[in-house]
């Protein structure tokens, strides 16, 4: 199966620590998206990349969040100085282009104690 993969699947951290998540999209997919999903809610858009360029960031993405896609392949999402409100499922999706289906990974569930 060559779908979208995310690592780690679960992360438990203490408030104030930094965490980094990785997303490997489907190969040859140019677009990569990050979404956040809290319990009982639909996913909310955070940011997206077209190849290595980060084209848009949501207002939900505070200065503590940074995302990169250095070679237009995998992407990382880092959260600095984590807060309890950051606890959520972080989903990555990829697509061949903006008009194509977005395929989601299994997500990384973050718990901030």
Nearest CA to 89 out of 44, 57, 59 is that of 44
Half-sphere exposure of 113 (CA within 13 A, CB side): 4
Rounded to whole angstroms, how far apart are CA atoms 99 and 102?
Answer: 9
106 binds other proteins (CB under 8 A): yes
4 binds other proteins (CB under 8 A): yes
3-state secondary structure of 33: strand
- Contacting range for other proteins; rule: CB under 8 A; set: 12-20, 65-73, 79-87, 96-104: 96-104
Please say whether the beta carbons of 49 and 30 come within 8 A: no
11 binds other proteins (CB under 8 A): no
The dihedral of CA 82, 64, 43, 19: what is its sign?
negative
Task: State the nearest-atom distance from the C-beta of 4 to other proteins, in Å.
Answer: 7
Adjacent-strand bridge partners of 21:
77
- Contacting range for other proteins; rule: CB under 8 A; set: 12-20, 60-68, 73-81, 90-98: 90-98
| Range 32-71, binding other proteins (CB under 8 A) | 33, 35, 40-45, 48, 56
Task: State the residues that interact with other proteins by CB under 8 A.
Answer: 4, 31, 33, 35, 40-45, 48, 56, 91, 93, 95, 98-99, 101-107
């Amino acid at each position: 199966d060559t779908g979208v993969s995310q690592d780690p699947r679960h992360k438990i951290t203490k408030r104030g620590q930094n965490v980094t998540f990785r997303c490997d999209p489907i190969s040859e997919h140019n677009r990569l998206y990050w979404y956040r999903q809290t319990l009982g809610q639909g996913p909310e858009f955070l940011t997206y990349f077209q190849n290595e360029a980060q084209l848009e960031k949501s207002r939900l993405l505070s200065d503590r969040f940074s995302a990169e896609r250095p070679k237009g392949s995998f992407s990382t999402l880092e959260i600095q100085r984590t807060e309890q409100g950051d606890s959520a499922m972080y989903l990555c999706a990829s697509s061949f282009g903006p008009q194509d289906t977005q395929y989601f990974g299994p997500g990384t569930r973050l718990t901030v104690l």
